[in-house]
Structure 1
Amino acid sequence: MKHWTEGFEDDDADEPLVRPYTITGGRTAPERDDLTLITLVTTMPAVSPGSGRGLKRMQPEHRAILTLCERPLAVAEVAAALNLPVSVTKILIGDLIESGQLLSRPPLAFTQAGGIPEMAILEAVRDGLRRL
């Protein structure tokens, strides 16, 4: 019988094999449903990555998110920077929002009534595409 680790190459020794559920403490789905791919997240003023305020056990990924989000980033950008699945990233971002270390908001273009983008933005996109 073949062992499950057979066939793994040691060429990727620089990348540790850590399962996403280990990073999230066993959670498989985000508790927040307001985090989309384009939701912007940013650190709260006066929060440093090492403060750990409100989180019992801060993972290295939590600290990385706080460092990345010193300027507003979309959830998808954070996931890409961390090289993690979006679902795992949403769980970690939710932890930081709950502990008061991150703020989230929809992108400015979608804050109009009903979530409809402003006409000026749509026209700018149209004009930009025409110039291509």
Structure 2
Amino acid sequence: MSHWTDDLDADGGDPAELSVRPYTITQGRTAPSRDDLTLITIVTTVDPPPGRAAARGLQPEHLVILRQCRGSAAVAEVSAELNLPVSVTKILIDDLVARGQVTTRPPIAMAVGSESNMNLLRAVRDGLRRL
């Protein structure tokens, strides 16, 4: 898979170019229009309509998102795959939501008040503290 960083030379490339590309692919936007996209929001590609019209006006990164999210992926996973900041990834996902090409949802919610879920959360918390 080709990332925009693949074109950098061995010494890391031009730092100005690194900041220009995200600005370009987001058309200068610094935040998505929606505020419900978090690192763990699940993104799923909607079945595309027939033909190439669905790809018109999309950046290569949008197409990567559409391919990656055929089986659903979290925003953090998409960001890592794109090798882009999460803020840029959220803007790109927001573009696709507005076009009706992906859907988003929070992760499967835990049952409220479930003792087994609380025990699991405590065990995870305790394990993280030990790290």
TM-score, scaled relative to structure 2: 0.71
Per mean C-alpha deviation after superposition, the further-off stretch among 65-74 and 118-127 is 118-127
Q: Indicate the residue corresponding to 2:100 in structure 1.
A: 100
Report what 1:40 is aligned to: 42
For residues 50-82 of structure 1, what are the alpha-carbon distances to aligned partners after superposition, in whole Å with 9 as ceiling and x for unaligned? 8453x7510000000000001121111110111
TM-score by length of 1: 0.70
Matched-pair identity in %: 53
Aligned-pair CA distance for 1:117: 7.8
Query: Is 1:109–1:118's contact at 8 Å kept on the other side of the alignment?
Result: no
Helix, strand or coil: the match of 2:103? strand
The match for 2:66 is 66
Going by fraction, where is helix more abundant, 1 or 2? Answer: 2
Q: Find 1:31's aligned residue among 30, 33, 55.
A: 33
Deviation of the 1:124 alpha carbon: 3.0
Which 10-residue stretch deviates more, 27-36 or 16-25?
A: 16-25
| Shift of residue 123, structure 1, vs aligned partner | 2.2
Matches for 1:91-130 after TM superposition, within 5 Å = 91-109=91-109, 118-127=114-123
Deviation at 1:23, TM superposition (A): 1.1
The residue identity in structure 1 corresponding to 2:48 is V
Change (3 A) 1:96 1:35: same
Bigger radius of gyration: 1
* Match in the other structure for 2:21: 19
